[in-house]
């Protein structure tokens, strides 16, 4: 899928659950950071999009899997939307974008962002703070090392008609 196709599938909630991986989260946030001039708007699009897509996944599962038992909740609180993780990742991604770079190059330069064990965040947050119930619902400041400031120049905004 091209970047435009991927972003439109995300915004229209047509991604398959199996395709909504950690890498897909990073790609989506990177695309917004590359294309939107306002850090606040980037964060709004990422937050709203994740919440909207997660709600679609829940509805699909309810329709398709009524007879199956529910899977247990992740004890770290990583099932569903997590405010601190989302904002911290968007901040880190925005601080590392390079104008004109494609996603493959970005991925190659930033392998730590693609570690689904969140090692890049654990440089900034203790596990107790990052995985606390409060961190899931509100942005908590790092307790180990400050997050970097975003520094980029967006290139273009693509509309999916949503």
Tally the domains of the chain: 1
Residue 42 in any domain: the answer is yes
Q: For residues 99 and 118, what is the distance between their CA atoms, to the nearest angstrom?
A: 25
Residue 128 in any domain: the answer is yes
Q: Give yes or no for a contact between 126 and 144, defined as CB atoms under 8 angstroms apart.
A: yes
Residue 156 in any domain: the answer is no
Residue 159 in any domain: the answer is no
Q: For residues 83 and 136, what is the distance between their CA atoms, to the nearest angstrom?
A: 5
Q: Where are the alpha helices (DSSP H) in 76-132?
A: 83-96, 103-109, 127-130
Q: Give yes or no for a contact between 32 and 40, defined as CB atoms under 8 angstroms apart.
A: no
pTM here is 0.84
Model confidence at 124: pLDDT above 80: yes
* Mean local confidence (pLDDT), 80-96: 94
Range(s) of the domain holding residue 44: 3-137
Q: For residues 46 and 20, what is the distance between their CA atoms, to the nearest angstrom?
A: 13
145 DSSP assignment: S
Residue 129 in any domain: the answer is yes
Taking all residues of the chain, what is their mean pLDDT, rounded to a whole number? Answer: 87
Residue 157 in any domain: the answer is no
Q: Among the listed ranges 19-28, 89-98, 111-120, 143-152, which one has the minimum average pLDDT value?
A: 143-152
**Residue 52 half-sphere exposure toward CB, CA atoms < 13 A:** 14
Residue 95 in any domain: the answer is yes
Q: Among the listed ranges 39-43, 79-83, 93-97, 106-110, which one has the minimum average pLDDT value?
A: 79-83
pLDDT in tens, 134-162: 999 999 999 999 999 866 555 444 456 54
Residue 153 in any domain: the answer is no
pLDDT computed for residue 151 by the predictor: 64
């Amino acid at each position: 899928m091209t970047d435009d196709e991927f972003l439109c599938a995300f915004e229209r909630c047509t991604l398959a659950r199996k395709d909504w991986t950690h890498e897909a989260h990073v790609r989506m946030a990177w695309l917004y950071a590359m294309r939107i001039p306002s850090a606040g708007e980037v964060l709004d699009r990422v937050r709203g999009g994740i919440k909207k897509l997660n709600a679609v996944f829940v509805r699909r599962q309810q329709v398709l899997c009524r007879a199956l038992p529910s899977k247990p909740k992740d004890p770290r609180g990583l099932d569903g939307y997590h405010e601190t993780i989302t904002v911290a990742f968007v901040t880190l991604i925005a601080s590392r974008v390079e104008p004109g770079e494609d996603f493959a190059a970005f991925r190659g330069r930033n392998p730590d962002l693609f570690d689904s064990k969140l090692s890049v965040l654990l440089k900034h947050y203790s596990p107790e703070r990052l995985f606390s119930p409060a961190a899931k619902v509100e942005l908590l400041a790092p307790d180990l090392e400050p997050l970097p400031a975003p520094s980029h120049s967006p290139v273009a905004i693509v509309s999916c008609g949503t």
